[in-house]
């Protein structure tokens, strides 16, 4: 374990002349060497320091994937500044909460996206920062960074409906990267096609850090786009690809020849962040000639489990715990369960976050004697393979993005005429799950008005697929909504 700059130095310094990154920049496709990436972040670090940022300050970004996120990440790591990534699909309510909680000195964004921010927010325009950095001298990495230094606050929703900032340290990122590079045999000769958003830990913690740790070649795309993805595979010929199940579902739309061609030059396809349906695994195997490697991680812990690179990649299982991760299956009282018994997964290790930002209550509830309660329910077989069976909370995962029903319910209850609201996840072939809202209302539901109200406040992926009017919500004697008794929505 070490700090991010030390981990990255193996590529930034030792492979300074090797091409590191290919991406669009200022309207053209560009290639950058590791030396150039190092210099860019040193210069940006100088600019950020000149603007008053010091170790421990927070700096947020609200951007779709682009080169400057890499610059920002490395510059902040070098300064000990804590990065707060904000999902670029978030809207007013989600943004206000994160700003109020993390209190960043500024938000780096584009002129167009700055319009999403409440008046009075300090927004730094990414293009202006970039131009300023071009002319700046190189700043040195600050002293005193260690594995315990916070590197990021990554917001993840809680059962209360309000997102909590997981404090991810330098050591969390470096230990995770070292494990993945070793376990997935990533080397400097790999070519990694990056399409996952860098504002979540899958794209950032796994993708960017496996790249930095291995010194491989990365092509960074703004996002996954089903219309252009085949062209990307053909032109770039990646060896390495990380996706969420929705992306693999979309890739199955490829014709047979295309699938075989893509499969021939790719070495490893990894899936995570939501359950990979066995049918997608099997169909993908038949078409692309690869068994997708499924792994299990979360914002608070980065990677926990992974199917092996060599050895059985078991359908429906997320594989054994990674070597640096301790994993237990425990009952409600925290007692260890035997193999094959269903319980909650608890994890401990250098991958686990330092707690929740300014939330000692939530931190105390989640950590017991250094063990983190994941809230995921699963079993471990005698050979160590873990299978997930759901969650303690009613979290919905749609396209790999998390949705806490409570957040949507609270907003629905603020709308005129809505007396009661309950949101549940229903199965969707492409996105895994989608939210559906059940409402008790005074009079008919004005769906257009509800949609507009939600769209102005929350990310589009949280918008319910349907609004179903019911006379009453099924409740227990204590008043808790029994979501499983709601009438089935058939689409
Ligand atoms: C989707 N949109 C994006 C986007 N993905 N915008 C910016 N950046 C992205 N990455 C927007 C689209 O513009 C559109 O907006 C809407 O979302 C739906 O897009 P779509 O193209 O119709 O969607 P689809 O083909 O279904 O594909 C969506 C997807 C996306 C799979 C590409 O859901 C995605 O990127 N998911 C990855 C989520 C992720 O990385 N999760 C990891 C969490 S970490 P509009 O406004 O037109 O509706 C974690 C821990 C771990 O979970 O490691 O396991
Ligand atoms: P997030 O808060 O976005 O980091 O989401 C983490 C959650 O995603 C985990 O707690 C799991 O419930 C879920 N998850 C991640 N990987 C997998 C997987 N391979 N299969 C099923 N669920 C997963």
pLDDT digits (tens, 9 = 90+) for 392-451: 888 999 999 999 999 999 999 999 999 999 999 999 999 999 999 999 999 988 999 999
pLDDT digits over 283-299, tens only? 999 999 999 999 999 99
Predicted pLDDT of residue 294: 98
Structural domains in the chain?
4-223 (3.40.50.12780), 395-485 (3.30.300.30)
Residue 105 and residue 57 in contact, taking contact as beta carbons nearer than 8 Å: yes
Ligand 2 pocket, CB under 6 A: 156, 272-275, 294, 296-299, 318, 374, 376, 388, 391, 397, 402
* CA separation for the pair 5, 75 (Å, rounded): 9
Phi (first) and psi of residue 321, to 5 degrees = -60, 145
Ligand 1: distance of its center to the CA of 344 in Å?
A: 28
The reported pLDDT for the residue numbered 391 is 86
pLDDT of 393 reads: 85
| Cβ–Cβ < 8 Å for 145, 3 | yes
User: In this predicted model, what pLDDT tens digit does every residue of 200-231 receive, in sequence order?
Assistant: 999 999 999 999 999 999 999 999 999 999 99
Profile the chain (491 residues) by mean pLDDT over runs of 10 residues. Answer: 94 98 97 98 98 98 98 98 98 96 98 96 98 96 96 84 92 98 98 98 98 98 96 98 97 97 97 95 98 98 98 97 98 96 97 97 94 96 96 91 93 94 96 97 92 96 96 87 92 80
Return the residue matching tokens 């993390």: 102
Q: Is the CB of 34 under 6 A from ligand 1?
A: no
Helix (H, G, I), strand (E, B) or coil at 430: coil
Numbers of helices and strands, H then E, in the chain: 15, 24
| Chain segment 68-79, per-residue pLDDT in tens | 999 999 999 999
460 lines ligand 1 (CB under 6 A): yes
> Nearest Cα to 240, choosing from 179, 200, 189?
189
Mutating to test ligand 2, I would choose from 388, 391, 398, 404 the residue with most ligand atoms within 8 A of its C-beta, which is: 388
Determine if ligand 1 sits within 6 Å of the CB of residue 451: no
User: 199, 273, 346: which to mutate for ligand 2, most atoms within 8 A of CB?
Assistant: 273
């Amino acid at each position: 374990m070490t700090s991010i700059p030390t981990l990255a130095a193996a590529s930034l310094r030792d492979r300074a002349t090797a091409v590191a990154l290919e991406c669009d920049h200022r309207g053209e496709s560009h290639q950058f060497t590791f030396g150039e990436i190092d210099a860019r972040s040193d210069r940006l670090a100088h600019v950020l320091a000149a603007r008053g940022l010091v170790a421990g300050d927070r700096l947020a970004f609200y951007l779709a994937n682009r080169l400057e996120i890499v610059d920002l990440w490395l510059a902040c790591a070098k300064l000990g500044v804590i990065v707060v990534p904000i999902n670029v699909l978030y809207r007013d309510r989600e943004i206000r909460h994160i700003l109020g909680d993390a209190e960043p000195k500024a938000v780096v964004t584009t002129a167009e996206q700055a319009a999403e921010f409440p008046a009075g927010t300090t927004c730094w325009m990414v293009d202006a920062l970039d131009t300023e950095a071009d002319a700046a001298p190189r700043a040195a990495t600050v002293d005193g960074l260690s594995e315990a230094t916070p590197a990021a606050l990554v917001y993840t929703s809680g059962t209360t409906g309000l997102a909590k900032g997981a404090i991810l340290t330098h050591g969390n990122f470096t230990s995770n990267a070292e494990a993945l590079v070793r376990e997935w045999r990533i080397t400097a000769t790999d070519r990694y096609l990056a399409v996952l958003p860098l504002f979540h830990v899958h794209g950032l913690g796994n993708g960017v850090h496996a790249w930095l740790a291995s010194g491989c070649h990365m092509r960074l795309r703004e996002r996954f786009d089903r219309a252009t993805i085949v062209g990307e595979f053909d032109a770039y010929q990646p060896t390495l690809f990380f996706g969420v199940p929705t992306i693999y579902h979309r890739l199955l739309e490829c014709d047979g020849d295309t699938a075989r061609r893509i499969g021939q030059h790719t070495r490893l396809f990894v899936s995570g962040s939501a359950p990979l349906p066995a049918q997608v695994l099997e169909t993908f195997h038949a078409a692309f000639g690869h068994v997708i490697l499924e792994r299990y991680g979360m914002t608070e812990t980065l990677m926990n489990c992974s199917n092996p690179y060599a050895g059985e990649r078991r359908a429906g299982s997320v594989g054994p715990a990674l070597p640096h991760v301790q994993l237990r299956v425990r009952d409600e009282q925290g007692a260890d369960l035997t193999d094959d018994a269903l319980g909650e997964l608890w994890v401990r290790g250098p991958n686990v976050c330092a707690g929740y930002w300014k939330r000692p209550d939530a931190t105390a509830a989640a950590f017991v004697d250094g063990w983190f309660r994941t809230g995921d329910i699963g079993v471990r077989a005698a050979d160590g393979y873990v299978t997930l069976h759901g969650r303690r909370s009613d979290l919905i995962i749609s396209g790999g993005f998390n949705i806490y029903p409570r957040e949507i319910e609270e907003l629905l209850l603020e709308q005129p005429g809505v007396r009661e609201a309950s949101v549940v996840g229903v199965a969707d072939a492409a996105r895994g799950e989608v939210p559906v809202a059940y409402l008790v209302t005074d009079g008919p539901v004005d769906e257009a008005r509800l949609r507009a109200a939600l769209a102005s406040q929350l990310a589009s992926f949280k918008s319910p697929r349907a609004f179903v009017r019911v006379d009453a919500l099924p409740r227990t004697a204590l008043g808790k909504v029994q979501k499983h008794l709601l009438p089935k929505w058939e689409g």
